[in-house]
Structure 1
Amino acid sequence: MTPQDMVLTRQGLRFMGRMWPCTIGKGGIRADKREGDGATPVGVHRIVGFLYRPDRMARPVDWALPIRPGDLWSDDPTHEDYNLLVRAPYPYSHETLRRADPLYDLVLLTDWNWPRAEKGRGSAIFLHRWRRPGYPTEGCVAFRPDHLKRIAGLIRYETRLIVPASLT
């Protein structure tokens, strides 16, 4: 582990000398993550992207990309675009990135099952805003909005999300 690593613990996310409260997937932590299980996968996950809503906030860091109208994330394991950013119209199963609620106003992308997705292993694991404290996600790691903004500003090229197997 390096000082830039984010380490998930039972108390929250340890990062940059601080413990950040967070929520995880409703399916708990699993070493055998599958599409739709709601679990947060065990492993060492690199941060590979940063998306934000330009109509709701200024560009948070220079490498952040805007979420545009029509941006979607494919979660259809039968399609070749599985676990990739796609554009509407997209007739296969997907998640809308430009949501009416603020859940995805700021999204950090991990390399879980990406860029060459293994069918059925589960689509994207994001770091995003939580709905409310203690409310689980579909497998992502979620934070208080102001904490997410702070975390996003502290991330470096080497930053990884570590989800230890000891949490299963």
Structure 2
Amino acid sequence: MSAVIGKNGLAQQKQEGDHATPIGIFPLRKVYYRVDRLLKPKTILPVEPLSPRDGWCDDPASSDYNHFVRLPHPARHEQLWREDHVYDLIVVIGYNDNPVVPRRGSAIFMHLQRPDCSPTEGCLALTESDLRAVLAAGADAVQVHAPA
């Protein structure tokens, strides 16, 4: 199993917009999936179907920074309901969420790889079969580190 990471590699001190994947051990919080495209994943984590009104705030000036939001939303945000298939299955990684620190990075997920396996903006991307295997195995945390 191999994961695609951010286009700027790994970071000890992640910052918003640096396109790096944070290093550390992080809890897995929740799973979202496109019920119109995929079957519900087997997991011990909470699971919720996505809707076209779902987003994630990535605006460091907002009190909703690094939180799930309903759209429309006044602050800058990512739309979780996408035309491509990258967010058909999303696992929210517990990075910068307890407490949330502005500009330390937001919307760090495990999600599906693009067909060309191109880098992410800071997330971990796996194949659908690998991501489902991680979830089915009862994983409740992820460890991100430099190769040995």
- Pair 99,134 (structure 1): closer, same or farther in 2 beyond 3 Å: closer
Residue pairs, 1:49-88, within 5 angstroms:
49-61=30-42, 63-88=46-71
- Give ranges in structure 1 of 5+ residues lacking alignment: 1-19
Residue pairs, 1:28-107, within 5 angstroms:
28-61=9-42, 63-107=46-90
One-letter amino acid of the structure 2 residue matched with residue 32 of structure 1: Q
CA distance in 1, matches of 2:131, 2:36: 18
CA distance in 1, matches of 2:117, 2:71: 32
| Aligned partner of 2:2 among 15, 21, 30 | 21
Q: How many pairs does the alignment contain?
A: 145
Q: Which deviates more from structure 2 when the two are superposed, residues 25-34 or residues 126-135?
A: 126-135
Q: What is the TM-score when the length of structure 2 is the normalising length?
A: 0.90
CA distance in 2, matches of 1:126, 1:56: 19
CA deviation after TM superposition for structure 1 residue 146, in Å: 2.1
- Say whether the 8 Å CA contact 1:133–1:144 is kept in structure 2: no
CA deviation after TM superposition for structure 1 residue 115, in Å: 4.3
Match of 2:95 in 1: 112
CA deviation after TM superposition for structure 1 residue 101, in Å: 1.1
Bigger-Rg structure (1/2): 1
CA distance in 1, matches of 2:103, 2:97: 12
CA distance in 2, matches of 1:89, 1:124: 17
Counterpart check, 1:142 vs 2:125? yes
- C-alpha root-mean-square deviation of aligned residues, in Å? 1.5
CA distance in 1, matches of 2:9, 2:137: 26
- Say whether the 8 Å CA contact 1:113–1:124 is kept in structure 2: no
CA deviation after TM superposition for structure 1 residue 78, in Å: 0.4
Q: What is the TM-score when the length of structure 1 is the normalising length?
A: 0.80
